[in-house]
Amino acid sequence: MEYMENRELSWLKFNKRVLEEASDPVNPLLERLSFSAIYQSNLDEFFMVRVGSLTDEEKNDGKKKDSKTDMTPSQQLDAVFTAVRRLQPMVEDTYRKTMGELAEYGFEQVSFETATQEEQTFLELYFKREIKPFISGIVVNDALPFPFLKNKELYAAVQLGSKKGVSIGIVPVHHDHSERMIPLGEGGKRFILEEDVVLQFAHLMFKNYKVLDRAIIRVTRNADIMVSGGGSDFRDRMEELVVKRTKLAPVRLEVSDEFSREALDYICKKLRIKNVRVFTSRIPLDLSYLYALQELSDDKKLHYINRSPRVPSVLSETKSVFSQVRSKDILLSYPFESMNLSFIRLLQESANDPKVTSIKITLYRLARNSKVIDALCTAAEKGKEVLVMIELRARFDEANNIEWSKILQQAGVKVIYGPKDYKAHSKLLLITRKAQGGGFDYVTQIGTGNYNEKTSAIYTDLMLLTADREIAADAENVFNALQNGIFVENTNKLLVAPLCLRDPVLEMMDGQIELARSGGHGYIAAKVNSLSDKVIINKLVEASQAGVKVELVVRGICCLIAGVEGYTENITVRSIVGRFLEHSRIFIFGKDGEEQKIYIGSADYMTRNTIRRVEVAAPVEDEKLKKRIRDMFRILMSDNVKAREMLSDGTYVHVERRDGEEPLNSQEYFYDEAYRRLEEKKNRQERMRKNREKGAAKKTASGKAKKRTSRKKTS
């Protein structure tokens, strides 16, 4: 279809936008390097999950086609590999340019060839004393087995002289005591990478052989694992699967620079990987060390302006969060407002409140030293009913969540794992408290992001806190369904996938289509991480054809192409990639006014979210909060610094500023707004304090005057 884009190719376009941030002069130099590392980390995960999945499909059902673009798994893989190779020169040029500019600030990554004679002597001694005793070289030929190469680990591969056939030497680069960046001066800013040293002296590991060629190699393995939920042994099966993942088949082989074709073919044969999956890079194969460079300089020009989450201006620090939510709905915005001083505070207060009877929550990803877990354990130890639905299948967090589930159970928490074959991705909390005079009060929290204090400082997310009883009843039904391994079939106010989210969304879109067809001004807007649900895409196309104005902010995958004549000319798609990861999900139906409906929630417009997971979205009904979200969306659509707009050919270009238009970076704007709101609150409090003091002084003065008058009358 003319207005459809392949999911994998769309994702690669997103990662290209990340890479563009690595060369954007608006970003400080060390922050640019971080984007290079993020690009590579993203690509690693893409190969492990998406390429892994396509590889499995190619083997199992090679004729199955992508429903949007009619491509077979093989065709998609070929397109992916071609797109990745085309980006590689940009990856290398960006990295080299940034490292070159950092030389002005004393940063220099040295190769063995560019090291001084004195440094080369030091490095040889360093290899012999600090590296060689902890690693071992393995010779491989047709008579000797090929070693297991760990996922994403670096190895030195050398071709050894052999009278018969091919012989390869494999040397692991890292060990438990290794230091990736070996400092050579300038406080560590002048350094050489450990793999360069191992590669240089690899011949010392094979003294009885002549080394013909050498290179660093890195294998990426399939990580696309899935197990059905349910059963008393579910956690045990997940633990086994996490171990199994480390040994899944390779899906990519990376090689540093040029390497002997004969040796490379031999390695591919042993790994059972096709040559088309071999990728050459002339920069380090693992860029994760670039984050460490951030710590080597406190020069403000090299870093973003220091920002820290603010105390939410809507919250009083003297009243409990629960009581404040009972008075009015509260909307929190991260990372601009502090999770610790809002949500964590609510949990901690509830854990210690003797009137709180139960806490129920869904957990997907958590911080390493999670205060959420601490509060839940405290609540259980104090005798409250605590129910935790923890998703053990959260990709790459399986092992962490398995351990958290054990800790929670030891504290007396009731732990459940959700329905079979469906991940629970919702961000939902329900707190029940005894009310004064009998009965119960409820606070329900619905969010767009995880209960993770670390990511809440770098992801943009929204969180709604409400005492609405209908929403609380819906939340209770969600938790009851999760306990029983079934799905919610009817709701009062919440949208709950897999059965009660997509259809209501489509109905609200239909309402805007009917409005436009009857001569009104239909409007649909959404901010999501990804858009790939074909049913929703087709409905948006129908809306566009009916004259509905559609505005979409889609950070990553967007399988809908905007601006295609006859289909999507009334649709605008923007993507914002900046300092913080755009993660909030907002659904808007209708122009400003009483009929407008606004929701926030955990679901993207992807089939996996709308009908294959347990997701929750909540209506924002308070008019002040609705206005705040409308204003936020308007700022996002006005961003002319970090926003890119999709063209009708599916490419993205930076939004250009009009003549005289001021730069607007939406993320910086929201941080400025959080600072301003808090400052205004402090100023109000200070004025009130001074007024109270003046009032007290007047009262005191008046009292003294009355006493003097009274004494005079008496005398």
Closest CA to 610 of 373, 425, 473, 355: 425
pLDDT tens digits, 521-543: 999 999 999 999 999 999 999 99
pLDDT of residue 241: 83
Closest CA to 568 of 576, 559, 577: 559
Name the token pair of 78.
């070929």
**Residue 42: pLDDT above 80?**
yes
Residue 619 pairs in a beta bridge with 599
Q: Are 678 and 307 in contact (CB under 8 A)?
A: no
Q: Are 641 and 664 in contact (CB under 8 A)?
A: yes
Residue 4 pairs in a beta bridge with 560
* CA distance linking residue 41 with residue 173, whole number of Å: 19
* CA distance linking residue 378 with residue 347, whole number of Å: 10
User: For 709, which DSSP code?
Assistant: H
**Residue 714: pLDDT above 70?**
no
Alpha helices in 277-393 (DSSP H): 290-293, 321-327, 343-352, 371-381
User: In degrees, to the nearest 5, what angle opens at C-alpha 180 toward C-alphas 179 and 185?
Assistant: 80
pLDDT of residue 710: 66
Name the token pair of 193.
């990478």
- Residue with tokens 């220099």, as numbered in its chain: 108
**Residue 162: pLDDT above 90?**
no
* CA distance linking residue 23 with residue 13, whole number of Å: 16
CA distances to 389, 523, 530, 574, 628 from 639, rounded to whole Å, are: 38, 20, 19, 10, 17
**Residue 689: pLDDT above 90?**
no
Residue 139 pairs in a beta bridge with 169
Name the token pair of 36.
């290079």
Q: Are 55 and 77 in contact (CB under 8 A)?
A: yes
Name the token pair of 39.
């690009």
489 three-class SS: coil
438 three-class SS: coil
pTM: 0.93
* CA distance linking residue 546 with residue 543, whole number of Å: 5
- Residue with tokens 């606070």, as numbered in its chain: 443
**Residue 417: pLDDT above 70?**
yes
| Helix (H), strand (E) at residue 544 | helix 534-545
Q: Catalytic: which of 174, 177, 203, 425?
A: 425
Does a cis peptide bond (omega within 30 degrees of 0) precede residue 312? no
* CA distance linking residue 540 with residue 506, whole number of Å: 9
Residue 367's region, left for phi above 0, alpha for psi from -120 to 50, else beta, is: beta
* CA distance linking residue 202 with residue 205, whole number of Å: 5
Q: What percent of the chain has pLDDT over 70?
A: 97
End-to-end CA distance of the chain: 103
pLDDT of residue 176: 84
CA distances to 164, 243, 290, 481, 501 from 489, rounded to whole Å, are: 69, 37, 49, 10, 10
Closest CA to 634 of 601, 588, 602, 569: 588
Q: Is 425 a catalytic residue?
A: yes
* CA distance linking residue 159 with residue 166, whole number of Å: 8
pLDDT of residue 643: 98
pLDDT tens digits, 673-687: 999 999 988 888 888
Q: How confident is the model at residue 44 (pLDDT cuts 50, 70, 90)?
A: very high
pLDDT tens digits, 452-487: 999 999 999 999 999 999 999 999 999 999 999 999
One-letter amino acid for residue 400 of the chain: N
Helix and strand numbers, DSSP H then E, in the chain? 19, 27
Q: Are 279 and 254 in contact (CB under 8 A)?
A: yes
Residues 6+ apart with CB under 8 A from 469: 442
Q: Are 464 and 618 in contact (CB under 8 A)?
A: yes
pLDDT tens digits, 549-565: 999 999 999 999 999 99
Residues 6+ apart with CB under 8 A from 670: 333, 336, 460, 632, 635
pLDDT of residue 144: 84
pLDDT of residue 165: 79
Query: What backbone torsions phi and psi does residue 666 show, to the nearest 5 degrees?
Result: -60, -40
Name the token pair of 231.
């059963």
Q: How confident is the model at residue 231 (pLDDT cuts 50, 70, 90)?
A: low
Q: Are 2 and 249 in contact (CB under 8 A)?
A: no
The count of other CB atoms within 10 Å of the CB of residue 216 is 25
**Residue 438: pLDDT above 70?**
yes
pLDDT tens digits, 266-307: 999 999 999 999 999 999 999 999 999 999 999 999 999 999
Residues 6+ apart with CB under 8 A from 278: 252, 253, 254, 255, 264, 268
- Residue with tokens 């590999």, as numbered in its chain: 81
**Residue 348: pLDDT above 70?**
yes
User: In degrees, to the nearest 5, what angle opens at C-alpha 52 toward C-alphas 50 and 53?
Assistant: 65
Residue 573 pairs in a beta bridge with 552
For 421-445, b/e burial (b = at least 16 CB within 10 A) is: ebbbbbbbbbbbbeeeeeeebbbbb
pLDDT of residue 715: 55
* CA distance linking residue 258 with residue 213, whole number of Å: 9
Average pLDDT of the chain is: 94
611 three-class SS: coil
Q: Are 453 and 433 in contact (CB under 8 A)?
A: no
pLDDT of residue 708: 67
pLDDT tens digits, 92-110: 999 999 999 999 999 999 9
- Residue with tokens 């390493």, as numbered in its chain: 368
Name the token pair of 553.
């902010």
pLDDT of residue 684: 83
User: For 46, which DSSP code?
Assistant: H
pLDDT of residue 186: 87
Burial tier of 395 (Cβ tally within 10 Å: 0-12, 13-18, 19+): middle
**Residue 208: pLDDT above 60?**
yes
**Residue 713: pLDDT above 70?**
no
Q: How confident is the model at residue 712 (pLDDT cuts 50, 70, 90)?
A: low
User: For 48, which DSSP code?
Assistant: I
pLDDT of residue 163: 76
